[in-house]
Structures are given as C-alpha cells and as structure tokens.
Amino acid sequence: MATVSPTPLLKDELDIVIPTIRNLDFLEMWRPFFQPYHLIIVQDGDPTKTIKVPEGFDYELYNRNDINRILGPKASCISFKDSACRCFGYMVSKKKYIYTIDDDCFVAKDPSGKDINALEQHIQNLLSPSTPFFFNTLYDPYRSGADFVRGYPFSLREGVPTAVSHGLWLNIPDYDAPTQLVKPLERNTRYVDAIMTIPKGTLFPMCGMNLAFNRELIGPAMYFGLMGDGQPIGRYDDMWAGWCTKVICDHLGWGVKTGLPYIWHSKASNPFVNLKKEYKGIYWQEELIPFFQSVALPKDCTTVQKCYIEISKQVKAKLGKVDDYFNKLADAMVTWIEAWDELNPSGNISAKIPNGASK
C-alpha cells in the first residue's frame, strides 16, 4: 500500500494575498503556517496610514498610490474602499498559485482539537485532480481513505486539473445581510469533512475569505469587479469573480473544488451596512444567475483572456439594460485584462477544449 507522501510546501510557487484596511494582527496566529511564504498585502483605504506587518514575514505592500502608479489610468478597474482591491495582488504576483484570506480569519480547529493548516489543505486540493463530469458520492476520490464508487466510469477517473479550491468557515458564516438580520446569533459549528468538485454546468456563490487558485491557469478570470467607493454595490465582488471563473473553467475543462479547509471567521460585519451594500445586488442577482447559466463561449475562446473578454461583451449586451453599472463593469473587465496582460506578458495558457463527456 503506497504511503501518503507529504504535501509539498510550494513556498516559492505560492503567494498569499491579503487585503487590509485595519491591521494585520491576525498574521500572528497564522505564523506557523504562513511564515515560509511571500505575502502580498493590498492596503485599502487611506494610503497615508501605515499598516504594520508583523516581524519576520517576507512581503510586498501596495497602497492606493502604488496601484495608481503601477496601473496609471487602468487603475480605475481596481475597487477602492472594498476588499475587492485584493485582485490587484493577483495581478502583480509572479507565482503559480495564490491563496487569499481575509484579515478577520483565524486558524480553526478540527473535531479532534487540532489546528487546521488551511494552506496545506488548499495546496493538496489544487495539486490533485477534480472530477466535474460525474459526481462521486464519496466526495473527493483522491483523498486517503476514499475512492471512486461503483458505477463511476473508469475513463473519467483521471480527472482534470484543479483551478480553484474554495474553503469554508466555522463560527461566523458567510450569510447575506437579510439572513444576518434574521439570524444574528447563528454560528456555523458543523465541520463537514469533505472536499468535492462542483459539477460542470453548476454555479455556486464563491467566497473570497478563504480561497486558493492556480493563477497560471485561471488568474485573469479572478477579477473582483467594481465595488466600494463610488459604486452602487458591494459584497458581490467574489461572487462575480466566481461566476466568471466557473463558466470559464467549465468551458476549458478545469475543476473547481469546495469544502475543506475551514478557517475560523471571527468578525461579523454590520448587517445594516451590508444591507445597503447588497441591496441592489439582491435584485440584480435574479438577472445575473440566468445570464451566467446561459453564457455560451465559442470554441475559439481557447484562453482565459479570450473567454473573459467574450463574457464582458455579453455582459454589456445583456446586462447593460438592467443597469448602466454593467456597462461600466464590462469596460472594467476589459481594462483588467489589458492590465493583466501588460503586467504578465509571458503568454497565455491555451487549453484544448476537451471533447470529454458532453452535457
């Protein structure tokens, strides 16, 4: 029986991107797990404020002045006064993988009381294949102690590359404002010991609090949109990126996983403030979901950038009439890709559209 080999650290291949407007005290708790890695801190809000990074971490820090300087006029696509600004960190990173985490997320404990090394689990998720074409009822078949179930076709057991690993949260769950208002005391105490691939063709609400992805594969799709200052909407940044990412992953034959690892989310944001931010989104979402469910990407969209530009065209054509915001967002999506390509000129990963099992 093969022994489980230790998870590679990938310390020179992974950047940790952290948006912050407050402070980085939370890093002390993560030190045992994060210290080997390079951090990219994206400082939101007032650029004259100094954010102190705890001693001993290797990092680069960007505030709004840096973003404006580096991107020039293209800086308009990066949100201000919203954690959506984190996607600037993805753009300037030179690494293959990204892990992003919010500054109010701490190390959680598993049911045995052991501290969870979230980053290690994300790396395992990203380095093992996904299985989007047929659902395995025992969840991740590549985990030790699990496998494919009877009836799972052998031709699909190799899986496809994993582009995204979406982790979850104990304690304060990621609820929308109305739910927070109705259930202010609810805490997520259920540890679900599973990782699973979200099937092809299925959308999900992606949360940016505890998220890792293969930047070389899917980076350009991880644009977190126009949120915050001067924008009519907030708290839809990660979801927007998630829907674009999922549509593109489905098209290019890559997988998106959700489940472990858990982090401990400690700060409940103010639900009244959240309601104001989300308000328009709650209505717009009813248009957005059918939109994303029906986006069809042509066969000649063989790179993430081409797919993304195509989506931006469809956003303009179909969502522009919902609100002018979507025209601006579509333009910002194009600006983002232009900025991405400028900062990352080494070329695109072209994916052969898989024949695979059709839907």
Partner 1 sequence: MSLAIKDDEVDIVIGALRSDLTTFMNEWRPMFSRFHLIIVKDPDLKEELKIPEGFNLDVYGKPDIDQVVGSSTSILFSGYSCRYFGYLVSRKKYIISVDDDCLPARDPKGFLVDAVAQHIRNLTNPATPFFFNTLYDPYAEGADFVRGYPFSLRGGVKCALSCGLWLNLADHDAPTQALKARQRNSRYVDAVMTVPAGSLIPISGINIAFEREAVGPALVPALKLAGEGKCRWETMEDIWSGLCVKVVCDHLGLGVKTGLPYIWRTDRGDPIASLKKEWEGVKLMEEVIPFFQSVRLPREATTVEECIVEVANAVKERLGSMDPVFARASKAMLDWIKLWQSVGSSSSRSSAV
User: Using CB under 8 A as the criterion, which residues of the chain lie in contact with partner 1 when the complex forms?
Assistant: 1, 111, 133-139, 145-156, 166, 168, 173-176, 179, 183, 186-194, 198-207, 235-236, 239, 242, 258, 278, 282, 285-286, 289, 357-359
Query: Please, which residue, 59 or 135, has the CB nearer to partner 1?
Result: 135
Q: Closest distance between partner 1 and the C-beta of residue 214, in Å? A: 20
- CA dist 206 to 135, 237, 350, 357, Å? 19, 9, 24, 25
Neighbours of 205 (CB within 10 A): 14
Q: Closest distance between partner 1 and the C-beta of residue 102, in Å? A: 13
Q: Closest distance between partner 1 and the C-beta of residue 189, in Å? A: 6
The strand pair at 97-101 and 210-214 is best described as antiparallel
For 192-249, the three-class secondary structure string (H helix, E strand, C coil) is CCCEEECCCCCCCCCCCCEEEEEHHHHHHHCCCCCCECCCCCCCCHHHHHHHHHHHHH
Q: Closest distance between partner 1 and the C-beta of residue 252, in Å? A: 18
Tokens at residue 353, please? 């559209």
Provide the CA 75 distance to its chain's centre, in angstroms: 20
Tokens at residue 22, please? 């407050």
Q: Closest distance between partner 1 and the C-beta of residue 266, in Å? A: 17
Q: What burial class does residue 82 get, using C-beta atoms within 10 Å of its C-beta: 0-12 exposed, 13-18 middle, 19+ buried?
A: buried
Q: Closest distance between partner 1 and the C-beta of residue 133, in Å? A: 8
Q: Closest distance between partner 1 and the C-beta of residue 285, in Å? A: 5
Residues in a beta bridge with 17: 40, 100
DSSP 316: I
Whole-number Å distance between alpha carbons of 179 and 175: 6
The strand pair at 14-20 and 97-101 is best described as parallel
Q: What burial class does residue 208 get, using C-beta atoms within 10 Å of its C-beta: 0-12 exposed, 13-18 middle, 19+ buried?
A: buried
